[in-house]
Amino acid sequence: MTKYIIKRVIMALITLLIITFVLFLLVRIMPGNPFPSERMSAAAIAKKRAEMGLDNPMMVQFWNYIKTLITTGSFGNGSALYNGAPISSVLPVAMSNSFRIGGIAILFGVFVGLILGIAAALNRGHFWDVFCTVLSIIGVCVPSYVFMIFLQYFFAYKVTIFPFYFDSARFLHSAIMPALSLSLFSMSTVARFTRNEMVEVMDSDYVLLASAKGMYGTKLVTKHILRNALIPIVTVIAPLIVDLLTGALVVEKIYGINGIGKLMVDSITGEGVDYNYVLALGILYSALYIVIMLILDIAYGLLDPRIRVSSSKEG
């Protein structure tokens, strides 16, 4: 297992390098200008491009970027966004806001989603099942930002329970509404998948056998049904985690949260296209995604001994 993990980590680093390169190329094809200006002369803009090294051959630029990234751990300065402030002065705050709110959302969404899904599967065709179906459909059909406005309208305006806008001094208090609205999509997805996976597993022969042997109740559900149903559910949860952690653009905008989602959109659709921000955020997103997928693959092994056997044979 250790050997397998080491191998995967090395592979992850190589993947990250490839991703950086692909992003590096793509971002330079995008329409828009890294130095948007309505007043500067063409010569002045050309000078700025030269200062940022954008006139060098692509490979030289890439090599310089990677070298700076590895030796100093710095993503460099922005160009269009925040007028060239170092990315290190912007990113940590945005990351901490998005990660904390996303973390609450994912915990809440997965927890409630699992419970709802299990309840629905065990009461197939009855109240909880219908409730779960309806909730999951509302959860996927109504975008999270509409929920956000709804919550804001009723719980910050009609009844003043929560602050109307995000206030970092009262973090937990002001994180509840955005986290709740963000969690609805993951809650619906998890609930629906759990329900369907459970139903599938409950119909399988070995569950029939287990119940025939007299096993019932919690033990049957946790030991036989849930454990087998969990594998595909974990697959669904992993990308949801990455998406939630990397922020939700519109909710962040509505609630005035200085987060990663907003940063990403600002760096592309703001005044100009800020190459370094797009790259930094892209690398951050990929790194998160790869780490979570790595954990997921290891979790597969823990959840299902059959996969453990086959992957250790291969690796």
Partner 1 sequence: MKKFKAIGVAILAVVMAAALCACGGGGNEPAPSGSGADAGEKSMTYTLIYGNNEGDEVALVAQSLKDQWEEAFPGVTINLQPMTKAERLDKMQNDNYTIALTRWGPDYADPMTYLGMWTTGTANNYGFWSNADYDALIKSCSSGELAGDYDARWAALYDAEKLVMDDAVIAPLYTKANANLIADGVEGVEFHPVALNRVYKRATSATGTLNVMFATNVMSLDTNLATDGDSFEIIADCIDGLTQMDADGAAVPAIAESWDISDDQMTYTFHLRKDATWNNGTPVTANDFEFAWKLAMTANVEYNYMFDSTVGCVKNADAILYDGGDVDTLGVKALDDYTLEVQLEAPVSFFPSLMYFPTFYPINQAFYESVGADNYGTSPETFLSNGAFVLSEYTPGTASPKVAKNPAYYDAASVQLQGINYQVVDGSDNALTAFKNATLDIAVVSGDQVKAVNDDATLSKNLKVTGAGYMWYVTFSQTVNADSNGDFANKNLRLAFTNAIDREFVVDNYVMDGSLATFTCVPPQFAASATTGEDFSADQSKFADVCSYNLEAAQGFFETAASELGY
Partner 2 sequence: MKKKNLKASLNAAAVEAYIPKDEDFVLEMDQDITTDRNYASQGFWKGVFTRFFKNVRAVIGIVIIVLIIILAVIGPNISGHGYAEVIKITNDSGKKVLAKSLPPRIPGLHKLFTGEDYDDDFGDSTFLFGTDTMGRDLWTRVWYGARVSLLIAFVTIIIDMIIGMSYGLISGFFGGVADVIMQRFVEVANSVPRLVIVGVLATFMTKGIWLVIVALLLTEWIGMSKIARAEMLKIKEQEYIMASKTLGANNFTIIFKDVLPNTIGPIITQIMFSIPTAIFTEAFLSFVGVGIVLPQCSIGSLISDGFTNITTLPYQILPPIIVLALLMLAFNFVGDGVREALAPRIEDM
CA-CA distance, 65 to 53, in Å (whole number)?
A: 10
Q: How far is CA 3 from CA 10, 73, 79, 311, in A?
A: 11, 28, 42, 12
Under 8 Å between Cβ of 244 and 182: yes
Q: Report helix, strand or coil for 133.
A: helix
Interacting residue with partner 2 among 104, 225, 241, 281 (CB under 8 A):
281
DSSP, res 250 = H
Q: Which residues bind partner 1 (CB under 8 A)?
A: 31-33, 36-44, 47-48, 51, 77, 80-86, 89-90, 93-94, 149, 152-153, 156-157, 160, 164-168, 250, 253-254, 256-258, 262-263, 266, 268-273
Site string for partner 2, 148-187 (x = CB under 8 A): -x---x----------------------------------
Within positions 5 to 34, which residues make up the interface with partner 2, using CB under 8 A?
11, 14-15, 18-19, 22-23, 26-27, 29-32
Q: Is 203 in the site for partner 2 (CB under 8 A)?
A: yes
Q: Judged by CB under 8 A, does residue 106 bind partner 2?
A: no
H/E stretch holding 144 reads helix 144-152
Chosen residue from 35, 193, 255, 277 binding partner 2 by CB under 8 A: 193
H or E stretch at 289: helix 275-303
With CB cut-offs between 5 and 8 Å by kind, which of partner 2, partner 1, none does residue 15 bind?
partner 2
Q: Which residue among 239, 258, 271, 299 contacts partner 2 (CB under 8 A)?
A: 239
Separation CA 115–CA 90 (nearest Å): 38
Q: Which tokens in the block code for residue 45?
A: 């803009």
Beta bridge partners of 77: 86
DSSP secondary structure letter of residue 154 = I
- 141 lies in the binding site for partner 2 (CB under 8 A): yes
Q: Which residues contact 250 (CB under 8 A, 6 or more apart)?
A: 143, 144, 145, 148
In the complex, what is the shortest distance from the CB of residue 103 to partner 1, in angstroms, rounded to a whole number? 20
Residue 232 contact among partner 1, partner 2, none, beta carbon within 5 to 8 Å by kind: partner 2
Binds 272: which of partner 2, partner 1, none (CB < 5-8 Å by kind):
partner 1
Catalogue the E-assigned strands of the chain.
none
Residue 263: CB atoms within 10 Å? 29
- The residue type at 117: G
- Residue 65: C-alpha distances to residues 20, 99, 115, 161, 302 (Å): 10, 26, 47, 47, 39
Q: Which of residues 252-271 bind partner 2 (CB under 8 A)?
A: 264-265, 268-269
**Residue 19 CB: number of other CB atoms within 10 A?**
17
One DSSP character per residue, 54-94 reads: TTS-HHHHHHHHHHHHHHH----B-SSGGGG-BGGGTHHHH
Shortest distance, position 81 Cβ to partner 2, whole Å:
14
> Does residue 140 belong to the site contacting partner 2 (CB under 8 A)?
yes
Q: In this complex, which beta carbon is closest to partner 1, that of residue 47 or of residue 306?
A: 47
Shortest distance (Å) from residue 208 CB to partner 2: 8
Q: Which residues bind partner 2 (CB under 8 A)?
A: 11, 14-15, 18-19, 22-23, 26-27, 29-32, 133-134, 136-138, 140-143, 145-146, 149, 153, 188-189, 192-193, 196-197, 199-200, 203, 228, 231-232, 234-236, 238-239, 264-265, 268-269, 273, 278, 281-282, 285-286, 289-290, 293, 300, 304, 306-307, 309-311, 314
